[in-house]
Amino acid sequence: MKQLFISPQKRGSGDGSTPENAICGLPNSVFAARGIDEAVELHLLPGEYALEETLVLDERDSGTSFVGHDAVVTGGKPLTDWHDAGEGIVWTKVPAEARFTQFFVNGERREWTRYPEEGILFPGGSPAQSDGWANDVSGLSGEELANRLLYFKPEDLPENLYRPEDIEFVVLQFWMEARLCLEKWNRATGEALMKSGSWRPLTWSYGYYLENVREGLTAPGRWYHDRRENRLYYHLGEGERIGSIRAAYPVLRTLIEVKPSAGQKAENLSFEGITFSVTDGHPGGSSYHSVQAELNAPVAVRMSSTAQSVVRRCAFSNLGAWALWLKRGCGCIAVERCAFTSCGAGAVRIGEAERPKDPSGQTEFIRFANNRIADCGAFYLGSAGVWIGQSGHNTVAHNEISGPLQWAVSVGWNWQVFPLNYSRANRIEKNYVHDLGTGILGTHGALYVLGVSPETVVEGNRVENVHGSKYWGAGEGIILDNSCSGITVQNNLVRNAHAGGWGCNFDCFGNVIRNNIFAYGTSYQLTRYGDAPSKDPPPPNGEIFSQNIVLWENGPLFKEKDWPSYSTFWDYNLYWNPNAPVTFMGRSLEEWNALGLDIHSAVADPGFADPQNGDFTLGPDSPALRIGFEPFSLEDAGILPESGRSSAEEQDGTDPRD
């Protein structure tokens, strides 16, 4: 294998640490490697590789390994020449064409100024006497206008907001947010018309706040971009001085893209030991919204039609949106031992939201194992840590996931039964998910499956401390959503989830939920939600809920007070609440049995060793054993030590189809 050395400097240092013949710059090294007719190792020597434009790789780069040695690939541009504006605020000039949403100081993300500084504002009602102002000034009506029109209470906002054209309105629409720019507003009637709209009416929201607001510079550690004066203002944080800040803003949304020619594949690529840092979060234009999971946001490293490749021991940090996307036509790629921290959206997207028209467009056999995801969803509030769509035979195993995310793992992505999609045989196993939903949107559900997904298994995961939003609720442990079928959920522990351990949509069928422990939900423990079946009698649900232990101290067992259909198999479960009698939607166990449910189940203390502190060891005489519960250990949930190897790692990038 040919080895080449790359330096971020123009020439060697002369002290022997950098070879004199080292190639300068990352793009130059790629061009040099393409002229070598064998596999090439490109060693990135210590330093910062600042890209002026996205580095595009293709089939000609097959067989190339990028090996980092304290190397940082960045899309950042340094900001210097700071001036004192008084009261802890400094400013510097930025290029007139610069329009960015991210800013970093001393290697850390800094937040935009915001109004109000904390909390949210609540929308106003429809103005009493607007005389159709928004319709008159826009020429719009109906849904198109409703998606762009925000009603506000005039008294909520400062009377003379500085440069309203610089502001982004962040409208909270339950599990996602819309980021919208103002076109015109009527302060008297409380109507704000946005330049473009969200996917649903802006009345379908519970609150909003403003970002990039000059009035918010009173908060230390926040920044404001005055786009008319081309100045960036920053309120110094605690302990910072004007001469000690090392600041940067992003000039790129994507650092590296693997994009082979039509009909071609890039194969045997490797990225190891590289830090990818500083990209922008805004997709461009005058607004942003996504129906779910922030799939319209930019991505730092994108691959399509790539196979037999590895991303190992890399760090993705201080990124504006998504870190990594394995797009259409990717297969047999391992992402392992990486750290994803302070990403504006999620860590990795696998597949695409739309069903590929041709099987060759499938993305499959991706392994995402032994990675850490922390403090992601820092800018796009409705993000998933790991998102899998229209993709099968993937493994998400032994990862640690925490922070302000809507979902730790979201898999499936199909709202209907037919046509059948490519989501099948995915395994979500042995992950440690904890302290999730710490942002303003909370978490919808930690582990989330959507749509028909035959042979998909959610197994052996430890999920703890899942927070909901105080404004709209949610915060469940494991959710099977619209049309889920063919899924097995077993041997999982969910503890301290705001909205309980497990929930499913009414139209799920053919799933098996067995041998799980659902403990200490805050509001309730279990739920079957969604639109009630419209047929009379309602169709059977077809779930098998069996051999599970449900333990709680607060709230009811079920969120619902009744179900439209009891045609589901619930039996051989154990329920226990030490503080109150156990009832089933107000019914005794005997009355519940009369509906055909839990006939062989029991209400009894399972006898865990110390469940309040996370020890769910069962004694030999536990009543749980009599209902068929099989004890399981979660000591290996989460990242394995280097000496340990998960079953997912055994393939080591080889094609399981061979």
State the average pLDDT over residues 545-553.
98
User: Does the pLDDT value for residue 595 go beyond 50?
Assistant: yes
Find the range with the poorest average confidence among 60-69, 286-295, 342-351, 435-444. 286-295
- Cβ neighbours of residue 229 closer than 8 Å, sequence gap 6 or more: none
Mean pLDDT of the chain: 92
d(CA 489, CA 511) in angstroms, rounded, equals 8
Q: What is the pLDDT of residues 135-180, one digit of tens each?
A: 889 889 899 999 999 999 999 999 889 999 999 999 999 999 999 9
d(CA 636, CA 653) in angstroms, rounded, equals 22
pLDDT tier for residue 399 given thresholds of 50, 70 and 90? very high
What is 318-340 written as a DSSP string? EESSEEEEE-TT-EEEEEES-EE
User: Does the pLDDT value for residue 634 go beyond 90?
Assistant: yes
Residue 122 per-residue DSSP state: P
pLDDT of residue 650: 43
pLDDT tier for residue 357 given thresholds of 50, 70 and 90? confident
Report in angstroms the alpha-carbon separations of 85 from 95, 221, 338, 606: 19, 15, 41, 64
d(CA 412, CA 398) in angstroms, rounded, equals 20
State the average pLDDT over residues 92-106.
95
User: Does the pLDDT value for residue 455 go beyond 90?
Assistant: yes
**8 Å CB contact between 437 and 408:** no
Q: What is the pLDDT of residues 294-321, one digit of tens each?
A: 999 999 999 999 999 999 999 999 999 9
Amino acid at 655: D
pLDDT of residue 565: 82
> Backbone phi, then psi, for 60, in 5-degree steps?
-70, -15
d(CA 563, CA 631) in angstroms, rounded, equals 31
Question: What sign results for the dihedral spanned by CA atoms 612, 615, 621, 626?
Answer: positive
User: Does the pLDDT value for residue 655 go beyond 80?
Assistant: no
pLDDT of residue 648: 42
pLDDT of residue 616: 97
pLDDT of residue 13: 47
State the average pLDDT over residues 526-555.
83
pLDDT tier for residue 28 given thresholds of 50, 70 and 90? very high
Strand ranges in 221-328 using DSSP code E only, listed in sequence order: 222-226, 231-235, 247-250, 256-258, 266-267, 270-277, 287-288, 299-303, 306-312, 315-319, 322-326
d(CA 198, CA 171) in angstroms, rounded, equals 9
pLDDT tier for residue 538 given thresholds of 50, 70 and 90? low
Q: What is the pLDDT of residues 428-449, one digit of tens each?
A: 999 999 999 999 999 999 999 9
User: Does the pLDDT value for residue 12 go beyond 60?
Assistant: no
